[in-house]
Amino acid sequence: MNFAEVIVDVTTKNIDRPFDYRIPDKWRGMIKKGMRVVVPFGPRKIQGFVINVKDASDLSGRSVKDIEEILDLTPVLTEELLELSDWLTEKTLSYKITALQAMLPPAMKAKYAKEIKVIGNEPLPEPLQSLFSERNALSYSDIEDPRTLKLIQRQVQEGNLEVTYKVNQKTNKKTQRTVSALRSKAELKEALSGLSPQAVKQKAILEFFIEGSEGMTVTVKELVDKTGGSSASLKPLLQKGLLQEGEREVYRDPYQDRMFKKTEPLPLTEEQSRAYEAISEAVENDRHDVFLLHGVTGSGKTEIYLQSIEKVLNAGKEAIVLVPEISLTPQMVHRFKGRFGSQVAVLHSGLSTGEKYDEWRKIHRKEVRLAVGARSAIFAPFENLGMIIIDEEHETSYKQEEMPRYHAKEAAIKRAEHHRCPVVLGSATPTLESYARAKKGVYKLLSLKHRVNSQVMPDVSLVDMREELRNGNRSMFSRALMEELEKTLEKGEQAVLFLNKRGYSSFVMCRDCGYVIQCPHCEISLTYHRFGQRLKCHYCGFETGMPSTCPECTSEHIRYFGTGTQRVEEELTKILPQARVIRMDVDTTSRKGAHEKLLTSFGKGEADILLGTQMIAKGLDFENVTLVGVLSADTMLHIPDFRAAEKTFQLMTQVSGRAGRHEKPGKVIIQTYTPSHYSIQLTKTHDYETFFQQEMMHRRVQAYPPYYYLALITVSHEEVTKTALVTEKIVQYLKANIQGDAKILGPVASPIARIKDRYRYQCVIKYKQDHQLAPLLKNIMDHYKRDIEQKQLTISIDMNPYMMM
Ligand code: ADP
Ligand code: ZN
Ligand code: ZN
């Protein structure tokens, strides 16, 4: 094999294809599909992926360049993943390189350092001559003055300077210093007797090696810990040649120091057994079934996952479990590590780049057989997959909102097809799409209707907050919730208070004229941050101080609205001064490990009330929690998204599920301004089935998924007329060319009409089958290629949008 086809790290339309490179003789036979290499590309050296090797190239000998460097000694992408990347590219209309990179940990994405080198012999004009007088290369990032850059540009054109690109790898490995004995035990004993009596620490170290096993290697840290010695006392022993130092590669394992109590499989309930048997049967027969495990909160879905995984591991295969980022809590990690110990790799965004890379390598080296992680863990490079589980399958975080815009569920099904293994989708509130598929028999439905140990579902009551206001209660706590909180505290039990923050934030408004302070660059109100009294834009990062008067009418009655967790906490301590409150939000959990510390503390009963946002809605399982309060159920109901009702029902059901999961019965109080809405009404009876029926009716009437597929095209440009015009043209083109049963909506301004000074318009396509939509969309992208490459126009296509903003 003399040539390699390489996908290079450049994201433009024209370059989105493999390029041929010659394999230098020294690497013949070594370079394989799925390895990363560095190749020359124009004036640069860039990273690329080998996707094929072959004997001959169609290009004439001279124009084929040599591969410059190999970055991997074994392929980092398996053949299966390479194929999957093709599918990803097709499905999401992304660049090939973007799809390939999405499958690897961020540490393996190339970083480039731009360097400027002197190549001519002519003296350079000042100030360049002095700049380069001492060295012959400068880093591009060191040059700040744009005038200097201009000069450099000219010299590059004249051939006196050259810009080169170096590929920098971030894939550094962590090592630890180790010590081992260099002499026999007899010799060490002899040395020991020769030491001066004061050298107590040196003695202790020597004794440690004399007593230890032959040829033992320990880390310096361990040695110091065990002998009470120090680096200083170690030094003379090394110098005398009694001991020797070494280095050992270690993983940055964020969980290494923690103890995981080993757990044993629980005897399954009858419902659990039925589900488990069905999954087992598919595992035994290597059948690619997709199961929808629909089980009420607390029905013991995780135990079914654990026992199914055990079955897979016992068969010598591997498994992937996807868990939403937000519920990948230490508690969750414990459940898997407790059962499978060191066979587990955990991948989530809380890890550092290095830690993520190390966890990935454990999978790659086949040192673990179970990967538990958020969305991107779906690309774990296992080669003998026996099962993929997606917990909380309704979670929108499984959809990636940047290129490649894939949904982990679809990728999971694709991979499982290849490996002929089952997929298990679990949820108490499945997406309408999944449940509809299960009803049609495309997925196999497994239902768990009861909680384990037949605890009853918590008793949910709704409180109409309009009524409260009419009765003169202006507080954010209804009387019912107050009473229940007091009762819970009296009984020595715990409560969880949930503030539904998504969909609205604390904005600043003038009470006299109603003026809302907006970002000058984006069509969105600024968010108030109590810390430093700042106003921030969550889309572009714009920041400004809090004004003391209204910019519109100069009134002083300008203040922030919306209830932040801090304000809730303040009010709570006023009305329930005896309550110990733990607040969990982005502010209190930003430090590493803070999340876990707060939860552990709550679990130990060090607080009475856990107050928080979305991050406490899921996965928490505390014995003593008997009350759950939702401060406002409706905030998500009014976002411009056809899934608003579904999301509201899901969230309310999840939050309610935190109460009364063990012996003590639970109570839930949901405060709302729209108590009659079916998505809120039906949480009272935990009635998923009826919710499904009702919501399906709406979806049918409005032609939304699962009745129709959706695609969202968003166009953005600095000029509003151009934005509208391009979108209009796209709509016309689609209307003229799309076949059959499709609807094209738009052009309309996007719900957020401007971001970072760029206007945004959108068009929504609703279609039944794939009416050759992809080729049409590709034509559109081709048509606007130039404008897009010049970065003036952006057209983003989302083939399965979850964010309609
Ligand atoms: P879900 O994920 O369906 O909400 P979990 O898996 O968290 O439910 O289970 C709820 C609780 O029930 C957990 O504390 C779990 O340990 C316990 N549990 C699950 N299965 C059994 C069983 N068969 N016997 C006893 N306890 C169980
Ligand atoms: Zn005003
Ligand atoms: Zn902004």
Question: What pLDDT is stored for residue 501 in this prediction?
Answer: 66
Average pLDDT over residues 532-537: 82
Sheet with 69-70: list strands edge to edge.
Answer: 65-66, 19-22, 3-8, 44-54, 36-41, 69-70
User: pLDDT tens-digit profile of 178-207?
Assistant: 888 888 888 888 888 888 888 888 888 888
255 part of a folded domain: no
Average pLDDT over residues 617-627: 81
The DSSP output letter for 54 is E
CB of 272 closer than 6 A to ligand 1? yes
User: pLDDT tens-digit profile of 354-380?
Assistant: 888 889 989 998 999 999 999 999 999
Q: Is 578 exposed, middle or buried (0-12, 13-18, 19+ CB in 10 A)?
A: exposed
* CATH code, domain carrying 726: 3.30.70.600
Q: Which atom of ligand 1 is nearest to the CA of 297?
A: 4
CB of 301 closer than 6 A to ligand 1? yes
Same domain membership, residue 20 and residue 128: no
**Ligand closest to the CA atom of residue 450:** 1
* 3-state class (DSSP) for residue 190: helix
CB of 297 closer than 6 A to ligand 1? yes
Pocket-testing residue among 261, 263, 266, ligand 1, by greatest number of atoms within 8 A of Cβ: 266
Most confident of 65-74, 258-267, 305-314, 525-534: 305-314
Question: What pLDDT is stored for residue 504 in this prediction?
Answer: 43
Pocket-testing residue among 302, 389, 448, ligand 1, by greatest number of atoms within 8 A of Cβ: 302
**Which residues define the annotated binding site for Zn(2+)?**
510, 513, 519, 522, 537, 540, 550, 553
Same domain membership, residue 495 and residue 369: no
Nearest CA to ligand 1 atom 13: 300
554 part of a folded domain: no
CB of 656 closer than 6 A to ligand 1? no
Q: Is 590 exposed, middle or buried (0-12, 13-18, 19+ CB in 10 A)?
A: exposed
Nearest CA to ligand 1 atom 1: 298
Higher pLDDT, 94 or 637: 94
| Residue of 102, 24, 765 lying closest to 411 (CA atoms) | 102
Q: Which atom of ligand 1 is nearest to the CA of 269?
A: 23
Higher pLDDT, 516 or 447: 447
Same domain membership, residue 604 and residue 584: yes
- Give 506 Cα–ligand 2 centroid separation in angstroms: 17
Q: Which residues face 559 on adjacent strands? A: 509
Confidence category of residue 609, pLDDT binned at 50, 70, 90: very high
- Give 306 Cα–ligand 1 centroid separation in angstroms: 11
Q: Which atom of ligand 1 is nearest to the CA of 295?
A: 3
Number of separate domains in the chain: 6
- Give 456 Cα–ligand 1 centroid separation in angstroms: 14
227 part of a folded domain: yes
- Give 523 Cα–ligand 3 centroid separation in angstroms: 7
Q: Is the pLDDT of residue 115 over 80?
A: no
- Give 659 Cα–ligand 1 centroid separation in angstroms: 14
Q: Is the pLDDT of residue 638 over 90?
A: no
Same domain membership, residue 569 and residue 465: yes
546 part of a folded domain: no
Same domain membership, residue 565 and residue 425: no
- The backbone torsions φ and ψ at residue 418, rounded to the nearest 5 degrees and listed phi first, read -60, -45
| Residue of 223, 272, 271 lying closest to 246 (CA atoms) | 223
Domain limit, last residue, from 417, 451, 485: 451
Same domain membership, residue 722 and residue 691: no
Same domain membership, residue 421 and residue 309: yes
- Give 538 Cα–ligand 3 centroid separation in angstroms: 7
User: pLDDT tens-digit profile of 539-565?
Assistant: 777 889 989 898 888 888 887 766 677
In sequence order, which residues have a C-beta less than 8 Å from that of residue 573 and are 6 or more positions away? 579, 581
Orientation angle between helical segments 200-211 and 220-227, nearest 10 degrees: 110
Nearest CA to ligand 1 atom 26: 452
User: pLDDT tens-digit profile of 40-59?
Assistant: 998 788 899 999 999 988 87
Q: Is the pLDDT of residue 534 over 90?
A: no
93 part of a folded domain: yes
38 part of a folded domain: yes
**Ligand closest to the CA atom of residue 336:** 1
**Ligand closest to the CA atom of residue 526:** 3
- Give 557 Cα–ligand 2 centroid separation in angstroms: 7
Question: What pLDDT is stored for residue 503 in this prediction?
Answer: 39
CB of 266 closer than 6 A to ligand 1? yes
CB of 299 closer than 6 A to ligand 1? yes
**Ligand closest to the CA atom of residue 754:** 3
Same domain membership, residue 220 and residue 83: no
Confidence category of residue 641, pLDDT binned at 50, 70, 90: confident
- Give 644 Cα–ligand 3 centroid separation in angstroms: 24
- Give 544 Cα–ligand 3 centroid separation in angstroms: 11
**Ligand closest to the CA atom of residue 331:** 1
Nearest CA to ligand 1 atom 19: 300
Rounded Cα–Cα distance for residues 116 and 152 (Å): 9
User: Residue 741's domain spans which residues?
Assistant: 709-798
| Residue of 166, 174, 167 lying closest to 256 (CA atoms) | 174
User: pLDDT over 70 for what percent of the chain?
Assistant: 95
User: pLDDT tens-digit profile of 228-276?
Assistant: 888 888 888 888 888 888 887 777 666 654 567 888 999 999 999 999 9
**Ligand closest to the CA atom of residue 305:** 1
Same domain membership, residue 184 and residue 157: no
**Ligand closest to the CA atom of residue 663:** 1
- The backbone torsions φ and ψ at residue 463, rounded to the nearest 5 degrees and listed phi first, read -120, 125
CB of 298 closer than 6 A to ligand 1? yes
CB of 269 closer than 6 A to ligand 1? yes
- Give 550 Cα–ligand 3 centroid separation in angstroms: 19
Question: What pLDDT is stored for residue 618 in this prediction?
Answer: 67
Same domain membership, residue 387 and residue 308: yes
27 part of a folded domain: yes
Q: Is the pLDDT of residue 116 over 90?
A: no
Q: pTM of this prediction? A: 0.83
User: pLDDT tens-digit profile of 123-141?
Assistant: 788 887 777 777 777 777 6
User: pLDDT tens-digit profile of 450-469?
Assistant: 988 778 888 999 999 888 88
User: pLDDT over 90 for what percent of the chain?
Assistant: 47
Pocket-testing residue among 274, 621, 650, 663, ligand 1, by greatest number of atoms within 8 A of Cβ: 621
Same domain membership, residue 276 and residue 416: yes
Confidence category of residue 80, pLDDT binned at 50, 70, 90: very high
CB of 303 closer than 6 A to ligand 1? yes
Rounded Cα–Cα distance for residues 802 and 433 (Å): 13
CB of 619 closer than 6 A to ligand 1? no
* CATH code, domain carrying 12: 3.40.1440.60
| Residue of 50, 168, 18, 52 lying closest to 108 (CA atoms) | 168
Domain limit, last residue, from 91, 108, 125: 108
Mean pLDDT for the chain? Answer: 87
CB of 452 closer than 6 A to ligand 1? yes
- Give 718 Cα–ligand 3 centroid separation in angstroms: 14
Q: Is the pLDDT of residue 502 over 60?
A: no
| Residue of 483, 428, 459 lying closest to 664 (CA atoms) | 459
In sequence order, which residues have a C-beta less than 8 Å from that of residue 487 and are 6 or more positions away? none
In sequence order, which residues have a C-beta less than 8 Å from that of residue 165 and are 6 or more positions away? 43, 44, 45, 46, 112, 113, 114, 115
* CATH code, domain carrying 620: 3.40.50.300
- Give 507 Cα–ligand 2 centroid separation in angstroms: 14
Lowest mean pLDDT among 61-70, 498-507, 599-608, 663-672: 498-507
CB of 747 closer than 6 A to ligand 1? no
264 part of a folded domain: no
Domain limit, last residue, from 108, 124, 140: 108
| Residue of 634, 618, 627 lying closest to 660 (CA atoms) | 627
Same domain membership, residue 632 and residue 495: yes
Strands (E), 465-604: 494-498, 508-510, 527-529, 534-536, 543-545, 558-560, 581-584
